[in-house]
Chain A
Amino acid sequence: AQSVTQLGSHVSVSEGALVLLRCNYSSSVPPYLFWYVQYPNQGLQLLLKYTSAATLVKGINGFEAEFKKSETSFHLTKPSAHMSDAAEYFCAVSGPGGYNKLIFGAGTRLAVHP
């Protein structure tokens, strides 16, 4: 069975600081991995996805994530946080080869302070 663990339900950083949101997954098949962002009172928006083409994936708004099979991790990073990055971030996993059912982590709420 597939599962996702996001370490840290709340992360707080200063504006301009590095953002690191952690995600570890469990999957018996090569996974597809996703990061979604949810801004207040909005739906989920796709930030980036890993689909085995490249281990370092670049997404929107300056975010990127690196797939590390040996660590079963897919951590999300951004070199310099902006106030507008404050949101909730969800890591999700699905398997290839047929029906796509996303399994979500519990989410990490990112706060950015001046």
Chain B
Amino acid sequence: DADVTQTPRNRITKTGKRIMLECSQTKGHDRMYWYRQDPGLGLRLIYYSFDVKDINKGEISDGYSVSRQAQAKFSLSLESAIPNQTALYFCATSDQRDSQETQYFGPGTRLLVL
């Protein structure tokens, strides 16, 4: 079984709809991240969380919100989806005990906003 899972893997939605992307991990890591990937732009950080009570904005947080329901779960919400949020979304985790804090990625969620 994968250590970092994301649901759904693919989602099509309409402009204005609220949607939630979910991430779960079995690695026991305390730190979790949400990124979006756009062609030619690499990955950009949306939000990150260093523990259940710690949530931080990343580079491109506008239009997104997150919830850290438990150490193993970190959800990303689009309150009112718009077409330019069409992208590939990745969740990642890292362990604060790893001094280099290597990040481990889920398989991604492909989102299309019509």
Pick the interface stretch among B14-22, B62-70, B72-80, B102-110.
B102-110
> In the complex, what's the smallest C-beta–C-beta distance from A12 to chain B, in angstroms?
17
Tell whether A32 pairs with B40 under 8 Å between CB atoms, given A42-B107, A43-B108: no
* Most chain A CB within a 10 A radius of its CB, from B92, B101, B106: B101
Does more than half of chain A's interface fall in helix, strand or loop, or is it mixed? Answer: loop
B4 proximal to A (CB < 8 A) = yes
B94 proximal to A (CB < 8 A) = yes
From B45, B58, B104, give the contact of A46 (CB < 8 A): B104
B interface residue numbers (CB < 8 A to A): 4, 31, 40-45, 48, 50, 58, 90, 92, 94, 99-108
Given A94-B101, A100-B31, A107-B42, 16 additional A-B pairs, CB 8 A: A32-B100, A41-B107, A42-B107, A43-B4, A43-B105, A44-B43, A44-B90, A46-B102, A51-B100, A96-B100, A100-B94, A100-B101, A102-B45, A104-B44, A106-B40, A106-B41
